[in-house]
Structure 1
């Protein structure tokens, strides 16, 4: 299909982008990699009056070590995130999950911030953002503000971004030694959205699980934090498969998975339990050294 008509702007600086975006009206959209937005335009599921292409804005791109966190610029491509030594060292769960996004062609064009701002619960990165307590940095003509990941995803394809605001980057806290990470995903093909995905982070001391974080992909209208699993896994022996399996049984608690051509809610709940167990086992087995 052919998208509805809109005005197109391609600023070269962030200040210029903010000025254009502020004057373009509430129905304006930001275009980064376009891998999520363009399909919506073609299907006429989105009708922006204006498109602000931020692909030339160098200030929005790159990965930086900021001491207690890693800053990932909004227009940094998925491929750049996966290949970044800083990301691999300090937030490996981000690299693991980003490497599963779609296929190489999409990862070379799609952007880290664009995927998160799109707020699709079937996307891989929103669940990771929840599990790692990422912080979203946004800017408007009136200044900057930060939004915790727990407050960013409001509903299906709806985020806490306000009209005139542009996501400039994401802060990923460094969790430090003793943590293990894994992203487990079930999908039909490499290009398909996850039927269900699980982002898991496990911190253990002397073989005992001290802290667990679990984010679920495609288990509701927003990404879900599996609080039941986190509580049940705390204090168990990391090497005891049965204990982790029992904790994983809480994965579907409080979820509202969708029904579509690929899976019904009960099947997604079953997958959530199975994949959570696998993710916990893998995260427990692969952790950074203690200090």
Structure 2
């Protein structure tokens, strides 16, 4: 029997026996957690997450179709709403080097194959705490050591060394009736609507047709933080964080009066502010 308001999870691993073993171990150390869906590959994991809106997703790092890291990047881009935020991520891996990086970054967790009860219990305690912080039942314990997007870029390069990203250096954008080449380092923020993405520099406002979800993969995540599904901001351009009367975080941008809204999925970036 499920517990009302119990946390919900999706489990993704291409090996059926590994899914069964992990499900069994989870039942031992976190009996109230509901496994609401299971996926055999990364594409299924993304679709189940979109459909079921779980609090937590377990992702095998190496899966066909999409790797767990690639699936996590897509999941991180899913739109949140008043009732749901992007879920916590736990990587399932046989590779210690990936696991240690994920653990030390503090923005997600990991389970080593085969899942051992003692290590899984550590993961469960960390995830419980993070979920409590997200729901307001516990105080944040300070800023994380890195962002989820930064970690996923790093892990992606390790899983597929040949596909290590080369970040954009220039943006070709429309300014009035002309096309300009804008150095990425000059951009203060990108913000999208349904058709265009606005490129804002200290002196120029331009438009491109490239959506935010593509820019996230093409820009250096150490420089451009995603703060909303429609907004990327240059970290160096941030000059302050405030809250409005509804309690929403707003990012101030150097040299502009405009404020950029931070959605719930990204408030962890500014815990210490």
- Same-fold call, TM cutoff 0.5: no
What's the TM-score, normalizing by structure 2? 0.25
| Structure of higher RCO (CA pairs closer than 8 Å, 6+ residues apart) | 1
Q: Give TM-score, length-normalised by structure 1.
A: 0.24
